[in-house]
Amino acid sequence: MSDEPVIAARHPFVLEVEPGTYYWCRCGRSAKQPFCDGSHKGTGFSPMQVEITEKQTVAFCGCKHTATPPRCNGRHKTLA
């Protein structure tokens, strides 16, 4: 398998999230984007644990190429 993540979406997943622990998909293969569903098994990827301490709106990266994981930094606009 590739060392590069699959581009799940060319836009962020903007979600209002409650306090808690979330697991952001890094590989791009999850059917439950932007969160992990275990589809990374057999790859070199693992999900990123994200702790949310207060209710907030988060723009989770969909392209999996952000420099500020798990948050979108607009990198999807420059991908081929």
Q: One digit per residue, pLDDT tens: the chain, 80 residues? A: 568 999 999 999 999 999 999 999 999 999 999 999 999 999 999 999 999 999 999 999 999 999 999 999 999 999 98
Tell me what pLDDT residue 8 has: 98
- CA 31 to chain centroid: 12
Tokens of 72: 């979108």
> Do 19 and 79 touch, CB atoms closer than 8 A?
no
**What CA–CA distance (Å, rounded) separates 80 from 17?**
30
Question: Of 74, 57, 79, whose CA–CA distance to 12 is shortest?
Answer: 74
Q: Give residue 1's pLDDT.
A: 55
Q: What is the model's pLDDT at position 3?
A: 85
Domains of the chain by residue range: 13-78
